[in-house]
Amino acid sequence: MGKNRFVVNPFGHLPLSEIDRSKLKEFAYDFFDQSVLKYEAFIGEGGPKVDPKEWKLIKTKEDTRVYLERDPPIRTSLSGSVSDHPALLMTGITWGTVEDCMFGAYSPTLETMRIKASYVEDTSGGAVLAVLEEPTPEDPFRSMTIKWIELDLPFNSTSLVKNRDYVYIEYVKTVKMSNGERIGCQIYHSINFPQTKELPNRVRANMTVCGIFRQLGPDTVEVYGSGIVDPAGDMIKAFVVTNGATESVFLWSMCLQQARTMSPMDVINDQMKSSTKDRNLTTASYATIDSSYVSSTTSEHNASSLSEYNG
């Protein structure tokens, strides 16, 4: 859906206290650092390795592969809710540079979100609710924002399916790994505030996703992604495995319009399309990072949690 059909921000500007901002930054830094460490372990000695006993290949596109976790553990949130949604893993190669990929991923303002949405038919709305960090001449791709985005789903005009939307923190920057090699990294993690209550005729979904770009050669980039997505609906697992990685495009495909490859976020919209029964989600009385889909027992995805705090 093009930028001319982008819906208006339904929440307005999100006021954040200094305590709010500090805690949100702390969480994003920690999640970011853990994601980089996990990636370093993944590429390790001898290059990336995907254990077929843990991961089922569900889609290939050119030099990119998407995997679904075979036996997901039960993950428990701070509020006590449980989920067994499988993690996703993506590995691939594309042409270009890390800077090309980061330029594609970079959307710190509403206007850049709208421009990139013009390439993505399934995105009908989005907004930057708050800015926590802005780019500098020394670090031009660094950005930390709170965003809202809505996905159009097939048959959303019927009573069977409702569009999904997300409120999430996004952190983007380049960083050096322990060996001195520079990579680009972008993280998304769902978060809820009292001011961002669920909207009419939409279902609030959740995600926790990381993507990384690493230069392999003069014009070759490795693309890596991992994450967990809960579309907030009952899903037929066999359907998800079979159709969990179609050509549908979402948030990270905006970046990969530049990189010309698949994205770990391609699967998010597919998860949405596989959901046909809505489920209510509970919003805490204070701003919280929802960690329902993050578990220290999951080898391919591990992030810290930010509990409730006073704002």
- Cα separation, 232 vs 77, in Å, equals 15
The rounded percent of the chain whose pLDDT value lies above 70 is 59
Q: Is pLDDT above 90 for 73?
A: no
pLDDT in tens, 148-166: 988 776 655 556 677 788 8
- Cα separation, 32 vs 274, in Å, equals 29
pLDDT at position 138: 87
pLDDT at position 131: 92
Among 134-143, 215-224, 250-259, the range scoring the smallest mean pLDDT is: 250-259
The token pair at 130 is 């708050």
Task: Write phi, then psi, for 116 (nearest 5 degrees).
Answer: -70, -25
> DSSP 3-state assignment of 242?
helix
Q: Can you list the domains of the chain with their CATH numbers? A: 3-289 (3.30.530.20)
Q: Is pLDDT above 70 for 106?
A: no
pTM: 0.74
Task: Write phi, then psi, for 296 (nearest 5 degrees).
Answer: -70, -10
Q: Which of 150, 141, 184 is nearest to 168 (CA)?
A: 150
